[in-house]
Structure 1
Amino acid sequence: MARAAKAVIDLAALKHNYLLAKSLSSGNKAVAIIKANAYGHGAVVVARYLADVADAFGVACIEEALELRAAGIEQPIALLEGFFTADELELIEQHRFITAVHSQWQIDAIAASSIKTPIQVWVKFDSGMHRLGFNAEGFASAIAQLQSLPQVASLVAMTHFACADELESDYTETQIANFHAACDQFGLPVCMANSAATLHWPQTHGDWVRPGIMLYGASPLDQKTDAADQLKTVMTLSSALIAVRELPAGEPIGYGRRFVTTEPTRVGVVAMGYADGYPRHAKDGTPVAVNGQMTRVIGKVSMDMMTVDLTNQPDAKVGDPVELWGAQVDINEVAACADTISYSLYTGITNRVPRIYS
């Protein structure tokens, strides 16, 4: 019998979340962000399932884009970090990729290229993230240069928000103002909104939105909102009990003896560990569900196994199901208990965990 660890992917929920992003942005175009293997959900399967509704797909690099084209995906694909070397421009032209441009050297490379079929460019403005993009003076120059090049078919102005997930922060308003001050004079289509902005900042929706983590059912927001409550969970990470132990008070569990029983304790051993992608630093008390009943992690997570508290489940037995995150166990709560974020957990699921699509 196969090891029980698995990640079940609800594709109908995925499509629901994409269409929610579209509806929140009044039907504007939406780039489905499927970089990093669709946040661990399987980029090719996700792209194929969304192909009938997605306006475009977004990836981090040309390798991810080429994988989609090789799988028969024909929708526009945006390279969100642009190209890394000038020789990628030939592939961008050949496969009709959209490329971000964030630096002068990229403009120079396009100008020096032998592109015959003009390409689509999304030119990035640094509105305050201070990671990639042109400042206000550089942005105006970049627009002028790109508009003059025969190798460029069209432009979209884009930016990225640093704090859109923090609903009480005023920094997003500052970034919006910076963006409009730099961009409005050019009259270009705009793409501003990531998942957090799509869910909460309607003034950022522009012509394109870029739903990422929200596609997979996890809210990036630091508070509950009506919009975020409409998201449906896509991935359920689950396994099963492989042993049940009865320990008296005063006994340590797991590496380092981090957890010591304070009363007679029923302990379940689960076939799931950090080699599967479950966070090693999950604290005692991290939520899990056994047989649909909420309980907690006790003891350090090891490479292939973890231990959970079954004291309140006297009938739990080997083979019983365990949900690590999903519809019942909120991945954001698991992430908080491991001092990380849902993005890290999703993308960290390893290849030895089979993805099962439903």
Structure 2
Amino acid sequence: MARPLRAEIDLDALRHNYRLAASLAPGSRSMAVVKADAYGHGAVACAGALAALAPAFAVASIEEAVTLREGGIDQPILLLEGIFEAHELETVEALGLWQVIHSDWQLEALLAYEPRQPLTVWLKLDSGMHRLGFPPAAFIARWERLRQARDKTCDLHLISHFASADLDDATAFNAQHEVVEHVRQQLGAPICVANSPATLVKPQAHGAWNRPGIMLYGSNPLEGDLPAGLTLQPVMTLRSRLIAVQTLDAGQPVGYGGRWRTPRRSRIGVVAAGYGDGYDRHAMDGTPVLVDGQRCAITGRVSMDMLTVDISHVPEADVGSEVVLWGKGLAVDEVARHCDTIGYTLLTGVLPRVPRVYSRSPKSDG
């Protein structure tokens, strides 16, 4: 019998979330971000499920783009960090990729390259995050160089990234957006600046392109709740079973170091899932799980292959009972808060030994 832990990936939910993103910005084209193996969900499967909907995809590296092309994905693919070495321009051209340019060495490498046809370029503006890109004056100068290199480049776009579009306090977002708007108006440039939170609640940032990412996978990227009427569906449900049950008297330690002790006579369920699967070892006592659909709490430290939960109030729970670690019925963002992290890290942290099991309706295309 196979170990019961699995990550169930609901591709219909993925498509629902993409349609929601697109509906919020009807004047924009929505590029689906599938970097980091589609945030842990499987890039080829997810891109394939979105192929009839999404006009383009975005990844972090050449390797991720190659995986999509080898998986049969034909849409344009944007390299969000551009090339890492000049020789990668050959692959960019061969695979018909779009590239971000954020550094002078990338710009010079492109201008020294002799493409058979001009390449699509997205020039990165540092609008205030101070991570990648050119500050406004330098950006405008580089834009002009690329615009004049008609044998090298075509279809120039301005791309930038918001550091705080997710926050309730819009002060920093507004400052960045003002920088973007100033440069956009000077150049008449098509822009792509709206990430998931900006797609959801900052329509003023919607551009020629938006690039929703984490929201596609059902995680709420906002500091607060989603706006009324908007519903994201969880795409990944991490599901396992109880493999043992212990009945312990009051005051007994559970797990490594005895961090948690039974407050009363207790039934403790052992779940086949641990940090060796990507479940966060920092999960605190009280982190929620669902056992046979009922909320229970993690007790004690997460082990490499197992974790323990208090099932004293679920008398029918026993070996073989189903356990949902996050997903349908239990938001990954709630679990993340108990681990002092964010949903992104939990989803992308699910390790390869956890099987991904995909489902979709046969009538869900288009």
**Do these two structures clear the TM 0.5 threshold for a shared fold by scoring above it?**
yes
CA distance in 2, matches of 1:214, 1:2: 32
2:60 pairs with 1:42: no
| Structure 1 Cα separation of the partners of residues 248 and 73 of structure 2 | 54
Q: Secondary structure at the match of 2:126?
A: coil
Aligned to 1:56: 56
Match of 1:350 in 2: 351
Q: Which amino acid aligns with 2:64?
A: E
Structure 2 unmatched ranges of 5 or more: 360-366
In structure 1, the partner of 2:135 is: 135
Q: Helix, strand or coil: the match of 1:275?
A: helix
CA deviation map 1:195-218 (0-9, x unaligned): 011011010011111110000000
Between 1:319-328 and 1:219-228, the stretch displaced more is 219-228
1:315: which partner in 2?
A: 316
Q: Give the drift of 1:225.
A: 2.4
Amino acid at match of 1:154: D
1:1-358 residue pairs with structure 2 within 5 A? 1-149=1-149, 150-226=151-227, 229-358=230-359
Shift of 1:148: 1.0
Residues 162 and 28 (structure 1), Cα distance of their counterparts in 2 relative to 1, 3 Å cut: same
Q: CA RMSD of the aligned region, Å? A: 1.0
The CA distance in 1 between the partners of 2:335 and 2:229, in whole Å, is 18
Q: 1:242 to 1:49 in 2, by over 3 A?
A: same
Amino acid at match of 2:246: R
2:363 paired residue number: none
Q: Does structure 1 retain, via aligned residues, the 8 Å contact 2:258–2:300? A: yes
Amino acid corresponding to residue 284 of structure 1 in structure 2: D
Residue 362 (structure 2) aligns with: none
Q: Residue 123 of structure 2: SS of its match in structure 1?
A: strand
Report the Cα distance in structure 2 between the residues aligned to 1:229 and 1:140, rounded to whole angstroms.
Answer: 38
Q: Is the contact between residue 27 and residue 208 of structure 2 (CA under 8 Å) also seen in structure 1?
A: no
Please, what TM-score do these two structures have when normalized by structure 2?
0.96
Q: In structure 1, how many angstroms separate the alpha carbons of the residues matched to 2:19 and 2:210?
A: 12
Contact 1:199–1:227 (CA under 8 A) maintained in structure 2: no
Deviation, structure 1 residue 104: 1.3
Q: Secondary structure at the match of 1:206?
A: coil
Measured in 2, the distance between the counterparts of 1:299 and 1:164 equals 36
Cα deviation for residue 182 of structure 1 reads 2.0
Moved more, 222-231 or 193-202: 222-231
> How far did 1:244 drift?
0.7
Q: Please, which moves more after superposition, 163-172 or 246-255?
A: 163-172
Unpaired segments of 5 or more residues in structure 1?
none
Q: How far, CA to CA, are the matches of 1:27 and 1:271 in structure 2?
A: 46
1:167 match: secondary structure: coil
What displacement does 1:288 show?
Answer: 0.4
Shift of 1:339: 1.0
- Structure 2 SS opposite 1:72: coil
Cα deviation digits, residues 287-346 of structure 1 (max 9, x gap) = 100000011100100000000010101121100100000121111111111111111111
Once the two structures are TM-superposed, the CA of residue 181 in structure 1 deviates from its matched residue by 1.3
Contact 1:200–1:227, Cα closer than 8 Å, also in 2? no
> 2:112 & 2:213 partners in 1: Cα distance?
34
Say whether the 8 Å CA contact 2:9–2:356 is kept in structure 1.
yes
How far 1:91 sits from its partner (Å)? 1.0
Counterparts of 2:172 and 2:155, CA distance in 1: 30
Q: Secondary structure at the match of 1:323?
A: strand
| TM-score normalised by L of structure 1 | 0.98
